[in-house]
Amino acid sequence: MVELLKAWLKPGSGPVVARLYHRAFALVCLAAWLSLASQILLLAGGDGLLPWDEYQRNKDLQFHAYPTLFFFGASDATLLFGCWFGAGVSVLGFVGIYPRACAAINAILYISYIAVCRWFLWFQWDSLLVECAVLAVFLPTDRKSLGAHTMFRLLLFKLYFESGIAKLHSPIQDWLDGSAMTFYYETSPLPTWLGWYAHQLPESWHVFESWAVMSFEIVGAILILGGRRMRLVAFAGFSTFMVINLATANYGFFCHLALALHLFLLDDKDIKRIGSFLVARAPAIINKLSSRTRMPRLWRPTTPAALRRAKRIAAYALVTLWIGISLLEGVTRFAGYKGMNDVRRYYVRLRVANVYHLFPSVTRDRFEPTFETRDAGGDWTARHLRYKPGATKRPPLFVAPHMPRVDFRLWFYGLSAGGAPGWVRKLVHHMCNKPSAVQQLFRASLPERPHAVRIQFYRYEMTSFAERREHGTWWKRQFVRTAYSKRCPR
């Protein structure tokens, strides 16, 4: 107990870890902004699937429900400029120019785009990016900060522990009975070709894998709260876990962001040892990149003792408030507590303190929507999406840290039993009337004036080694139903 208390009161992570984290976080933000810039007009532009201006005009919105810099509307040029501005700020943060200010700008800007894009940015890793950015604002790079480093380690604990508890309470008990990983690689939203190979592993391995993932998320999270040796074990385990996730499925920037958070499991001296090893064996440019780059200060003010005490008190108050909100969110999610909903609604959309429950259960079947067009002659032609399984002979792709938001969201549409949501109908409408607005989603050129468009649902399964040798296919599929059909106006 004494050792644990010492580990918390005198954490080994300090300015070296902080500077490295700010750089890693800036790179993740850069990837997030570049990915969003490539599809923002498709998502929320004037001809997008969820046009923000149209939604804002037709709804009586409240700012606490949609906190955004674009609350009163935004043109296509403004939406694009915001993404590129965020990318530029991330570059400044990476080279060490006021990284805390850059984190603050990224937090405000990304919250704004979550509100604008709605469904397409309502993923847990989007919330995690905002929470990391907010905490990074309070992370100094020139001194130790017990409060800031404590919050980051608690965030890492929260990420894994809550996900483990969610698996423990799976409604179908698939993690407890060991069946979860039997289906995971096949039914993950955007698997990679290495995920196909992982799916071929023996069932006994998948059973062990299921129990190991759930157990280590819970037990390993407790190690995060321990001393240096315990944290090093957690670092090795969770980093291996994330690298496997990165190799077998595409989750945008999530795995990269989690790996950046793992830095808080290390001490400054650990980073220095690794840095010395790399510098001794790498080109001189590595040494230059590892050096600390900061804007020169022409004037360094002296801080009165009273102000230092006030800042210290404010920091502890901030830590207490953040922990309190995190606990409230956890109790609300896992215990069903609704008593503070009137308070929660004023801060929950800010994403400053979130609850995480990654894969509480694993989908058993993979239902993929396939878009087809019909010409005047009456023949239907499949129009395969760029990043979805599509043609059975095409191998699953590596696309992370880019996150194709529409392709990812269509995975959830495949699980639905109802009709097509509004944004899917809008996609079909564009395929009929303005195919150029959605062309980037598809591998081949869309016809200019199709006679009709329909959505067919297929059940996809990964093939075996024998089936792939015989037919050259990565997938096999079976027709399920026609989900939606539209005759295009002539």
Quick: pLDDT tens for 233-260. 999 999 999 999 999 999 999 999 999 9
> Do 436 and 479 lie in a common domain?
yes
Q: Is the pLDDT of residue 351 over 90?
A: no
Q: What is the predicted pLDDT for the residue at 8? A: 53
Distance CA 153, CA 150 (A): 5
Check residue 385 and report its DSSP letter.
Answer: B
The pLDDT of 170-192, averaged and rounded, is: 95
Domain-embedded: residue 361: no
Record the tokens describing residue 104, joined without a space.
């603050």
> Do 373 and 480 lie in a common domain?
yes
Nearest-CA neighbor of 200 among 466, 391, 388? Answer: 466
341-379: burial string, b at 16+ Cβ within 10 Å, e else: eeeeeeebbbbbbbbbbbbbbbbeebbbbbbbbbeeeee
Last residue of a domain, one of 350, 385, 408: 350
Domain-embedded: residue 35: yes
Q: Is the pLDDT of residue 43 over 70?
A: yes
Using DSSP's 3-state secondary structure scheme, residue 13 falls into: coil
> Do 117 and 240 lie in a common domain?
yes
| One-letter amino acid of 234 | A
Q: What is the predicted pLDDT for the residue at 149? A: 92
In the structure, how many helices (H) and strands (E) does the chain have? Answer: 20, 4
Q: What is the predicted pLDDT for the residue at 292? A: 46
Q: What is the predicted pLDDT for the residue at 295? A: 42
The pLDDT of 111-117, averaged and rounded, is: 96
Q: Residue 221 CB: number of other CB atoms within 10 A?
A: 21
pLDDT category of residue 297 using cuts at 50, 70 and 90: very low
Last residue of a domain, one of 324, 350, 376: 350
> Do 307 and 396 lie in a common domain?
no
Distance CA 323, CA 15 (A): 23
Q: What is the predicted pLDDT for the residue at 222? A: 94
Q: For the chain, what is the largest distance between any 2 Cα atoms, rounded to a whole number of angstroms?
A: 83
Mean pLDDT of the chain: 89
Domain-embedded: residue 356: no
> Do 427 and 341 lie in a common domain?
no
Q: Which domain holds residue 25?
A: 2-350
| One-letter amino acid of 461 | E
Using DSSP's 3-state secondary structure scheme, residue 438 falls into: coil
The residues near 30 (Cβ < 8 Å, ≥ 6 apart) are 87, 90, 91, 94
Nearest-CA neighbor of 213 among 359, 354, 333, 400? Answer: 359
Check residue 292 and report its DSSP letter.
Answer: -
> Do 197 and 284 lie in a common domain?
yes
Which is more confident, 189 or 147? 189
Check residue 104 and report its DSSP letter.
Answer: H
Of the candidate ranges 4-18, 246-260, 298-312, 371-385, the one whose mean pLDDT is the lowest = 298-312
> Do 323 and 390 lie in a common domain?
no
Q: What is the predicted pLDDT for the residue at 298? A: 40
| Beta-sheet pairing, 452-462 with 380-383 | unpaired
Q: What is the predicted pLDDT for the residue at 117? A: 95
71-110: burial string, b at 16+ Cβ within 10 Å, e else: beebebeebbebbeebbebbbbbbebeebeebbbbbbbbb
Q: Is the pLDDT of residue 182 over 80?
A: yes
pLDDT category of residue 127 using cuts at 50, 70 and 90: very high
The owner of tokens 């959309």 is: 349
pLDDT category of residue 146 using cuts at 50, 70 and 90: confident
Q: What is the predicted pLDDT for the residue at 62? A: 84
> Do 71 and 213 lie in a common domain?
yes
Quick: pLDDT tens for 360-416. 999 999 999 999 999 877 889 999 999 999 999 999 999 999 999 999 999 999 888
Domain-embedded: residue 355: no
> Do 221 and 370 lie in a common domain?
no
Q: Is the pLDDT of residue 342 over 70?
A: yes
CB-neighbour burial class of residue 254 (10 A; exposed 0-12, middle 13-18, buried 19+): buried
Whether 149 contacts 41, CB under 8 Å: no
Of the candidate ranges 81-95, 131-145, 330-344, 459-473, the one whose mean pLDDT is the lowest = 330-344
Domain-embedded: residue 346: yes
Nearest-CA neighbor of 83 among 123, 116, 49? Answer: 116
Size of the chain in residues: 490
Domain-embedded: residue 205: yes
Nearest-CA neighbor of 237 among 179, 169, 245, 247? Answer: 245
Q: What is the predicted pLDDT for the residue at 10? A: 61
Domain-embedded: residue 358: no
> Do 137 and 278 lie in a common domain?
yes
C-alpha to C-alpha distances, 355 to 127, 185, 368, nearest whole angstrom: 9, 24, 29
H/E stretch holding 37 reads helix 15-37
The pLDDT of 327-353, averaged and rounded, is: 80
Domain-embedded: residue 135: yes
> Do 79 and 203 lie in a common domain?
yes
Last residue of a domain, one of 350, 374, 403: 350
Of the candidate ranges 32-36, 42-46, 242-246, 354-358, the one whose mean pLDDT is the lowest = 354-358
> Do 201 and 246 lie in a common domain?
yes
Distance CA 122, CA 54 (A): 19
Which is more confident, 363 or 276? 363
pLDDT category of residue 284 using cuts at 50, 70 and 90: low
Annotate 190-257 with DSSP letters as a single string.
SB-HHHHHHHTS-HHHHHHHHHHHHHHHHHHHHHHTS-HHHHHHHHHHHHHHHHHHHHHB--TTHHHH
- Percent of the chain surpassing pLDDT 90: 69
The pLDDT of 343-364, averaged and rounded, is: 86
Number of domains in the chain: 2
